[in-house]
């Protein structure tokens, strides 16, 4: 009955499709399907624009020994992780877009494999892993970021790697490795440490635990956070030496908060509001600017609590409803965009439709997984909750700051995993599903 009701929402997985996905030929084909369009798009050159141009300029300065600076003035406006990575590439291969695109490609390959492996582990199903990879492989917006200089591909690889390390093994070695990865991720996107306690909270919230187990979990979480902090600490000390006060990673938090919470705010990034533009800004005064912007944002929220709460649905909408924002960067930096405008716009519409199907599948899977909660309580841990936790973290950050569609990019592999589970669940031949799973998985998911 459930499959009949959900039939119009998501396509059923046919017997022949499931049988083919279970074969040894499926994995090479799925990875070929994943890799081929990503290789093709690397031949497109997109000049860096906006934030990407800023990262590129800082990386060039770093590679020339000028330090992390603007016009010779030290800066920490944006997190340094991505410019430092680019500078390392420039030092080895020279200043060019080519090594960046190849690096993005390698990160994307890691994202594909991690999506497959996490999918089968979180849902204890080899078929879910394979379908997760397939759904991500044909997702246009995921592909389109490879020739771009934005942080999304690199950060998604770091995020998935950190999660994978914590899911696969609880040993001290894996905890240390996860801490290192999340430390680097924090230097790329400052909000990364929020993910760590939420992952450990999943194991506590989805099973009955005793006091000993609880404190053991807290200890593991503490190890990961401590190691991550130690990775970030040298940069924080550099900031203290440069600015004369503590700056953990970057100085853009205040302006980011203010651009999402001001009289002109509509849920998106609004940098032109007078409350924002009236702050005199220079590289040398960035710490003071950060403090002033933070103060103004909190004062506005305090004076307009009703308006702040009315912005919440707008921010959530801006975060989750639109997709395909990569087209904007092609429009700004790809010289043949106008020539192929109809192709770009057609793919954008196809992408939006596909994205909405993924989101609908994600929400539907959540409803079904909650309904199956009683059946899964006996398991060691209900890891299927994790993708929804990742989505909630992104939503919470958007509510505090602003909603921008590119902020959901790192969550999309997790959404593909849930949609993969839904497709397998809708398979009419459940006996085949279990038989195929046993045959396809040489090692059980941990």
Does 73 have pLDDT greater than 90? yes
Q: Would you say the C-alpha torsion 242, 246, 251, 255 has a positive or negative sign?
A: negative
CB distance 315 to 267 below 8 Å:
yes
Beta bridge partners of 74: 69
- Locate the domains of the chain by residue range: 2-47+97-251+305-440
CB distance 365 to 419 below 8 Å:
yes
Over residues 259-278, the pLDDT tens digits come to: 999 999 999 999 999 999 99
Whole-number Å distance between alpha carbons of 227 and 144: 34
Place 57 in a pLDDT band, splitting at 50, 70 and 90: very high
pLDDT of residue 211: 77
> What are the φ/ψ torsions at residue 385 (nearest 5 degrees)?
-70, -25
Percent of the chain with pLDDT over 70: 88
Whole-number Å distance between alpha carbons of 424 and 232: 41
pLDDT mean over 392-411: 96
Whole-number Å distance between alpha carbons of 162 and 113: 14
Burial status of residue 1 (CB atoms within 10 A of its CB: 0-12, 13-18, 19 or more): exposed
pLDDT of residue 18: 65
Between 318 and 16, whose confidence is greater? Answer: 318
Whole-number Å distance between alpha carbons of 159 and 187: 12
> What are the φ/ψ torsions at residue 74 (nearest 5 degrees)?
-55, 145
- DSSP codes of every residue in 327-368: HHHHHHH-TTTTTTHHHHHHHHHHHHHHHHHHHHHHHHHHHH
Between 427 and 361, whose confidence is greater? Answer: 361
pLDDT of residue 267: 95
CB distance 422 to 361 below 8 Å:
yes
The pTM assigned to this predicted structure is 0.91
For the record, the structure tokens of 53 come out as 């141009």
């Amino acid at each position: 009955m459930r499959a009949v009701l959900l039939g119009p929402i998501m396509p059923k997985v046919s017997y022949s499709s499931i049988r083919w996905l279970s074969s040894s030929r499926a994995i090479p084909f799925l990875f070929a399907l994943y890799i081929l369009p990503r290789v093709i798009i690397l031949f497109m050159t997109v000049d860096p624009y906006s934030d990407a141009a800023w990262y590129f300029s800082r990386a060039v300065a770093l590679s020339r020994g000028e330090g992390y600076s603007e016009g010779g003035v030290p800066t920490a406006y944006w997190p340094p992780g991505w410019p430092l990575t680019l500078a390392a590439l420039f030092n080895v291969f020279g200043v060019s877009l080519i090594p960046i695109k190849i690096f993005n490609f390698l990160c994307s390959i890691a994202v594909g494999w991690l999506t497959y492996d996490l999918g089968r582990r979180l849902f204890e199903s080899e078929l879910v892993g394979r379908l997760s990879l397939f759904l991500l492989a044909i997702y246009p917006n995921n592909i389109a970021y490879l020739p771009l200089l934005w942080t999304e591909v690199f950060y998604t690889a770091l995020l998935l790697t950190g999660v994978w390390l914590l899911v696969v093994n609880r040993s001290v070695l894996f905890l240390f490795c996860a801490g290192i990865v999340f430390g680097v991720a924090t230097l790329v996107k400052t909000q990364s440490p929020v993910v760590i306690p939420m992952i450990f909270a999943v194991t506590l919230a989805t099973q009955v635990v005793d006091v000993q187990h609880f404190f053991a979990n807290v200890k593991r979480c503490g190890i990961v956070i401590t190691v991550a902090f130690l990775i970030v600490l040298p940069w924080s000390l550099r900031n203290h030496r440069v600015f004369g006060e503590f700056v953990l990673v970057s100085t853009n938090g205040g302006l980011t908060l203010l651009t999402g919470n001001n009289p002109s705010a509509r849920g998106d990034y609004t940098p032109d509001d007078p409350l924002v533009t009236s702050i005199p800004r220079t590289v040398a005064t960035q710490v003071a600017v950060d403090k002033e912007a933070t103060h103004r944002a909190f004062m506005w929220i305090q004076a307009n609590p009703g308006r702040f709460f009315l912005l919440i649905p707008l921010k959530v909408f801006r975060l989750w409803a639109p997709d395909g924002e990569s087209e904007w960067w092609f429009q700004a930096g790809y010289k043949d965009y106008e020539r192929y405008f109809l192709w770009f716009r057609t793919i954008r519409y196809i992408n939006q439709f596909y994205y909405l199907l993924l989101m609908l599948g994600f929400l539907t899977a959540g409803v079904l997984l909650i309904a199956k909660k009683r059946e899964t309580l006996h398991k060691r841990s209900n890891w299927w909750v994790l993708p929804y936790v990742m989505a909630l973290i992104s939503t919470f950050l958007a509510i505090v700051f602003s909603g921008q569609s590119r902020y959901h990019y790192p969550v999309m592999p997790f959404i593909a995993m849930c949609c993969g589970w839904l497709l397998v669940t809708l398979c009419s031949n459940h006996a085949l599903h279990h038989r195929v799973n046993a045959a396809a998985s040489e090692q059980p998911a941990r």
